[in-house]
Structure 1
Amino acid sequence: MSELLRVEHVTAGYGDSVVLEDISFSLQEGGSLALLGRNGVGKTSLIVSLMGLTRLHRGSIHWRGKDLLRLDTHERAHAGLGWVPQERYMFPSLTVEEHLTVVARPGEWTLKKVYEIFPRLEERRSNMGNQLSGGEQQMLAIARALMVNPSLLLLDEPMEGLAPIIVQELVRVIRKLIATSGMAVIVVEQHARLALSMTERAIVLDRGRIVHDSDSASLMNDAEGLNRLVAVA
């Protein structure tokens, strides 16, 4: 399996403020990674750095062996990075279907296929984005990212604030994407065990640095270590 993403010695932040320090990791085509850590340690900053929305002080990011730093955010999306931000960013003037078709790019993911994994969105295809529940908005945010036909899907706190039944549905979808789509996935998630149960590998951040890097199963089975790293039982 070939390398998709390589981050080397990245130090980045906002303006002169440094949030991430000396971050290095790689991800293979079709790989899955849980990005864990307590609040405020830099998880979201790492995701938005991949999308080009922070200031890079040092280091490099390579995408399929090419320098990603030369690309603007929209060019990174076209190159194959699909981003689902915490905020979801629904447009009140667009219907569900318009949210999906306006970003669509040629590839495996079509309206038909997205509606197959999110039938609730097909039922509400004529509703405006602001007429959806929080869970439906999160489904739409993920579906919209899939319509870009990405090679890497970046999920930033996809379960935040959702009812347990919706969480179960999204977990099912994400597991299916990881298992069958051939697409790589990075999941930022406060529910560490949930993220570990979906992914092959895990990185833990603390104060903007990587303090742990292992396979997800090993960390899941190390209750003491997991509690120490991310303060969960």
Structure 2
Amino acid sequence: MRELLKLDRVTAGYGESIVLEDVSFTMNEGDSLALLGRNGVGKTSLLVTLMGLTRLHGGCIHWDGADIGRMTTHKRARAGLGWVPQERHMFPSLTVEEHLTVVARPGPWNLQKIYQIFPRLFERRTNMGNQLSGGEQQMVAIARALMTNPRILLLDEPMEGLAPIIVQDLVRVIRKLVEEEGMSVIVVEQHARLALSLTRRAIVLDRGRIVHDSDSASLLADGDKLDRLVAVA
């Protein structure tokens, strides 16, 4: 498969503060990756580094063969990086449908396809951003990223603070994206076993460095190792 993303000894952080050190990995088109680790080890920082929102102190980030280390965030989005931040960033003055159409770019993901996988958003399409539940806002955030027709989807804690029934809906959507749509996905998720069940590969960070890299299934099957690495039940 074609190589899509490559990090080569990336060291990055905020100002002079280093958060990620010597991080290297590659992803091919259609790969799915669970990015795991305890709180504060650099998982979110890795995603925002991919989007160009940290200071790159060393190493290279290659996207589809091109070095994007100095590329601006909006150009990375246009190049095909779709980011779903933890904060969701809803605009209270926009309807659900306006949230989706304002960022739309040509490609297979359009309103019709979005409403097929998120029927709840079709029902809420005229509601304003501040009239939605937390789960509905998360659906909008994912749908909005899909409307940019990305080649990779970066999901930062997509299940955080959501009701179980909403989590089930989002799990269904993410599994569909990975297994049926063949979309490249990186999932940052505190619920490690859930993330591993949705992805084919797993990376564990500790203090900004990669301390484990394997297929998701083998890590999921080794409960003792998983608990040692991420301290989850």
- What is the TM-score of this pair, normalised by structure 2? 0.99
The two structures, once aligned, show a CA RMSD in angstroms of 0.5
Match of 1:195 in 2: 195
Whole-Å separation in 2 of the counterparts to 1:67 and 1:138: 31
Q: Which residue of 2 aligns with 1:45?
A: 45
- State the one-letter code of the partner of 1:32: S
Query: What amino acid sits opposite 2:56 in the alignment?
Result: L
Partner of 2:86: 86
Q: Which amino acid aligns with 1:231?
A: A
- 1:143-196 Cα shifts (integer Å, max 9, x gaps): 000000000000000000000110011001000000111220000000000000
Alignment of 1:1-233 (within 5 A): 1-233=1-233
Pairwise CA distance, 1:68: 1.2
Q: For structure 2, which runs of at least 5 residues remain unmatched after alignment?
A: none
- Give unmatched runs, 5+ long, in structure 1: none
Give the Cα separation in 1 of the matches to 2:69 and 2:106: 24
- Taking the aligned partners of 2:170 and 2:52, their CA distance within structure 1 comes to 27
Tell me, what secondary structure is at the counterpart of 2:60? strand
1:56 partner amino acid: L
Aligned residues: 233
Q: What one-letter code is carried by the residue in structure 1 that aligns with 2:66?
A: K
Distance across 1 between alignment mates of 2:168 and 2:182 = 22
Identity of aligned residues (%): 79
CA distance in 1, matches of 2:66, 2:202: 24
1:201, distance to aligned residue in structure 2 (A): 0.1
Find the aligned partners of 2:53 and 2:171 in 1 and give their Cα distance: 27
C-alpha distance in 1 between matches for 2:69 and 2:168: 36
Question: Which range moves more in the overlay, 26-35 or 66-75?
Answer: 66-75
Cα deviation code 1:88-114 (max 9, x no counterpart): 000001000000000000000000000
Query: What TM-score do the two structures reach when normalised by structure 1?
Result: 0.99
Question: What is the CA distance between 1:20 and its match in structure 2?
Answer: 0.4
Distance 1:139 1:18 in 2: 33
Q: Distance between the aligned counterparts of 2:125 and 2:217, measured in 1?
A: 38
**Counterpart Cα distance in 1 of 2:183 and 2:225:** 29
Distance across 2 between alignment mates of 1:15 and 1:128: 36
Give how far 1:70 is off.
3.0
- The runs of 4+ residues in structure 1 deviating greater than 6 Å are none
Partners of 2:108 and 2:13 in 1: how far apart? Answer: 35
Partner letter of residue 232 of structure 1? V
**Letter of the 1:13 counterpart:** G
